[in-house]
Chains A and B, each alone.
Chain A
Amino acid sequence: MTFEHTDLGRRFASEVETAAYRIVQEALTNVALHAGVKQATVRMWANGSMLGMQIEDRGIGFDVRSTPVTTLGLTGMRERVHALGGELTLESSPGRGTRVTAELPLTAPIEHASLMRA
């Protein structure tokens, strides 16, 4: 595995860190189980507003439209990201590998909103 990163010399909110950890773990599990390769690149970056992560492999890939996403634990990843107000993009096609990119806001807007109401 190759790990590339930038601006990670600090801690983030624990729910953001946990989500990031789970997403990378889940995506790497997918690579190990389905990609047919033993190599993946994990990229992580942070800026003022987002913590980003990307897990990319050059494996067999799959057809995003015809594969039920539930089989890949993607629903879980997506829910995790959305719960924190982030975005997840899944890109793959047969023979061309898979790339999962997620960005999580450093301040969780949903929780913030519910606090305001309470």
Chain B
Amino acid sequence: MSTSILLADDHHLVRQGLRVLLAAEPDFHLVGEAADAREVVDLAERLRPDVLVLDLLMPGINGLSALRQVVKCAPKTRVIMLSMCSSEAYVSEALQEGAAGYVLKSSRADELILAVREVAAGRSFLSPPLSEKIVEGYLKSRNGAVLDPYDTLTTREREVLYLVAGGLSNAEIADKLFVSPRTVETHRANLMRKLNLHNHAELIRYAIRRGILPAEE
């Protein structure tokens, strides 16, 4: 049985590479490609692919929001997040939001192919360095239950954090989230208090440390 795949990455070269890679497998067929997050959600809803390979850091709405929307509108599509970032916060958030797999961009080509087969068969897949981290994290959490302040953020606060880190002003964020700038200001103050951040510079540093912002642009 063949597996239909939708590819989503904003970098043309990356898409092309992935296309060649996946097309070499006789039982895979590519049904579409998307270059931004909005397009992904549209195409996923229309094409209902078996598997979506989704870049975590797409422009527009970010990859995680796209993931959330795809899970909602195409629940049978299994999503593999593709990312350069091995930060545990990102991996576990992606899994919690419904991703079936998480593959690092630094992986070998056959790892992605394996990931597609695994998730298409209803299992999950993590790039090996990640699965070790997750197991470590699990063992740690069984012993001491230390709170990660990031977990205490509401979904809205997380969205605002990503957008602030992405360089948007309160007014721009308000526009994007369809709320008033004052509401954005409140979310921002709340999340900064929860994360114990006191100014914009600390917020940016936090975002880089947590892998919310890539360290190099």
Residues of A within 8 A of B (CB): 2-6, 41, 43-45, 47, 49-50, 52, 54, 56, 58, 87, 89, 91, 96, 99, 101, 103
Chain A nearest CB, measured from B215 CB (Å): 27
B24 within 8 A of A: no
Q: Are A43 and B193 in contact (CB under 8 A)?
A: no
From DSSP, what is the main secondary structure of chain A's interface residues?
Answer: strand
CA distance A50 to B148 in the complex (A): 16
30 example contacts (A-B, Cβ-Cβ < 8 A) are as follows: A2-B141, A3-B145, A4-B145, A4-B146, A4-B147, A4-B151, A5-B145, A6-B146, A6-B147, A41-B151, A43-B147, A43-B152, A44-B147, A45-B147, A45-B152, A45-B194, A47-B196, A50-B193, A52-B152, A54-B151, A54-B152, A56-B151, A87-B190, A89-B156, A91-B155, A96-B98, A99-B154, A99-B155, A101-B152, A103-B190
Q: Are A89 and B154 in contact (CB under 8 A)?
A: yes
Q: Are B149 and A4 in contact (CB under 8 A)?
A: no
Inter-chain contacts of B145 with A (CB < 8 A): 2-5
Residues of B within 8 A of A (CB): 96, 98, 141, 145-149, 151-152, 154-156, 190, 193-194, 196
CA distance A2 to B154 in the complex (A): 18
Chain A nearest CB, measured from B18 CB (Å): 29
CA distance A101 to B157 in the complex (A): 11
Chain A nearest CB, measured from B183 CB (Å): 12
CA distance A96 to B72 in the complex (A): 10
CA distance A5 to B145 in the complex (A): 7
Seed contacts A4-B148, A6-B149; 5 additional CB < 8 Å A-B pairs: A5-B147, A52-B194, A54-B152, A96-B98, A101-B152
CA distance A4 to B149 in the complex (A): 10
CA distance A91 to B98 in the complex (A): 16
CA distance A57 to B190 in the complex (A): 22
Inter-chain contacts of A3 with B (CB < 8 A): 145
CA distance A96 to B67 in the complex (A): 13
Inter-chain contacts of A49 with B (CB < 8 A): 193
Nearest neighbor of B68 in chain A, beta-carbon distance:
A96
Inter-chain contacts of B155 with A (CB < 8 A): 91, 99
Q: Are B151 and A43 in contact (CB under 8 A)?
A: yes
Chain A nearest CB, measured from B29 CB (Å): 29
Chain A nearest CB, measured from B75 CB (Å): 8
Inter-chain contacts of A41 with B (CB < 8 A): 151
Nearest neighbor of A93 in chain B, beta-carbon distance:
B72
Q: Are A45 and B193 in contact (CB under 8 A)?
A: no
